[in-house]
Amino acid sequence: MRARRKTRKVLVGPVAIGGDAPVSIQSMTSTYTYEIDETVRQIHALATAGADIVRVAVPESRDTEALRHILPQVPVPIVADVHFHFERALEAVEAGVHKIRLNPGNIQDRKQVDRVIRACRERGVPIRVGVNEGGIIERKDKGKRAEEKAALVSDYAGHLVRIMVDKLEEYLRIFDQNDFADLVVSAKSIDPRIVIDAYAAISERFDFPLHLGVTHAGPKETGCIRSVVALGTLLAGGIGDTIRISYASDPILEVDDAREMLNCLGLRQRVEPELIACPTCGRIEIDLIKLVKDVRVRLAEIKTPVKVAVMGCVVNGPGEAEGADVAVFAGRGKGIIYVQGQQTRTVTEADMLDALHEECVAFAARVERGEATLNTGGVTIAPPDPLPREDGSMPLPVVGR
């Protein structure tokens, strides 16, 4: 992990982006913004899941009008997503929105862009300006368009990154001429490799805070890989100030995965339990997959970052679970539960889920009362004796460590 790259600080309502502020999580509602109650409900759900900032679409005037009713009801700053109509940006600013997402390339009249910038400057509203892979190739100048497309054929990734950086510099010049520096910058692509290279290039040239994201990432099943490859690489390299993981799915999943990624990188303090589990193999003698799913559901009610390990055997489990606060080692018909390295009880398979949950709740309560501390390193877990099978035979012996 490299140290975070130092950037300017921009305030989105009470949430800081850049500077010494922690990496913030963003998501976007999937509702029609003019459906006020549904939009408010989803914003609250995203905030509860861990979103620091939420973006809403405002393609029509009824959407910006709805902002006047939405903003007083929600607990996080709201970004208005503006594309082709500068009037929507002016209306959103007037309604009290906390940030504007604007692409100057989509608004042909420079005077209209200037009006939006002036309105945001007067109200102290920051703007995110970005470039996307799908919208930066020249459209009006046919000669230039032909040149760019020919260059892309010879070196698509390299030339596209150059175009993205040049286009972004062109946009930023507009804001500089308007004496406006409350900017957050983004450069998105569907290709994680292009995302990595583009943000790396931008971070060397500009000191504006960076909004990381992979555009059109797809469904969660594949989009999570595409997004985490790019965003995780950049964040580990010290690049990035706010992130959005984008899925063609429930936006709550975006926030869940973004939060977990930041937790894993040590860029966000975990506030919920962490669940680890061993991979399935031929030694497993219980339905480990179902047990893990059930444990995950039960842990959702706990608000202390207890580390819980669910292991399907006593062969490698003790070594793999040494950092856990609470662990279960399961064998056919039985489970042995440990709390910070000390065996507490042996239970039947039928009682395993309830017993593990009880131990987690009890340990979390002790932590909250100051009677116990969470593991920050490892604990020594003495391997339990192998559990006999129902026919009395013994499974594979415990591997010595």
Span 47-94, pLDDT tens digits:
999 999 999 999 999 999 999 999 999 999 999 999 878 899 999 999
219 alpha carbon, distance to own chain's centre: 15
**Dist CA 222 CA 177 (whole Å):** 42
How far is C-alpha 400 from the geometric centre of its chain's CA atoms? 39
Average pLDDT score over residue span 304-323: 80
Q: 383 versus 329: which is more confidently predicted?
A: 329
Contact status, residue 100 vs residue 122, Cβ threshold 8 Å? no
Return the closest-CA partner of residue 103 out of 31, 188, 35, 33.
188
At residue 351, the pLDDT reads 93
Whether the CB-CB separation of 92 and 62 falls below 8 Å is answered with no
Helices (H), 220-351: 220-236, 251-264, 288-299, 317-320
pLDDT at 333: 78
Residue 394 has pLDDT above 60, yes or no: no
What pLDDT was estimated at residue 109?
81
Nearest by Cα to 355 from 376, 334, 378, 373: 334
Contact 53, 12 (CB under 8 A): yes
Write down the pLDDT at residue 134: 67
For residue 52, the 8-state DSSP code is S
Whether the per-residue pLDDT at 399 is higher than 50: the answer is no
**pLDDT at position 139 over 80:** no
The rounded mean pLDDT for the chain is 89
Tokens 């239970």 sit on residue: 347
Q: Please tell me the distance from the alpha carbon of residue 245 to that of residue 24, in angstroms, as a whole number.
A: 12
Confidence of residue 129 (pLDDT cuts 50, 70, 90): very high
Q: Which domains does the chain have, with CATH numbers?
A: 9-264 (3.20.20.20), 274-368 (3.30.413.10)
- Residue 396 pLDDT level (bands cut at 50, 70, 90): very low
- Residue 393: pLDDT band (50, 70, 90) is low
Q: Which two tokens stand for residue 217?
A: 């990432």
What are the tens digits of pLDDT across the range 329-340?
887 778 889 999
Q: If pLDDT is split at 50, 70 and 90, which confidence band does 193 have?
A: very high
Other CB atoms within a 10 A radius of the CB of residue 189 amount to 26
Residue 281's pLDDT is: 78
Q: How many CB atoms lie within 10 A of CB 204?
A: 10
Element (H, E) at 39: helix 36-49
pLDDT of residue 316: 64
What does the pLDDT read at residue 110?
85
Q: What average pLDDT does this structure show over 253-272?
A: 94
User: Any idea what DSSP says for residue 276?
Assistant: E
State mean pLDDT over 11-18: 98
Strands 211-212 and 334-339: unpaired
Query: For 208-244, what is each residue's pLDDT tens digit?
Result: 999 999 988 789 999 999 999 999 999 999 999 999 9
Angle between helices 36-49 and 251-264 (to 10 degrees): 20
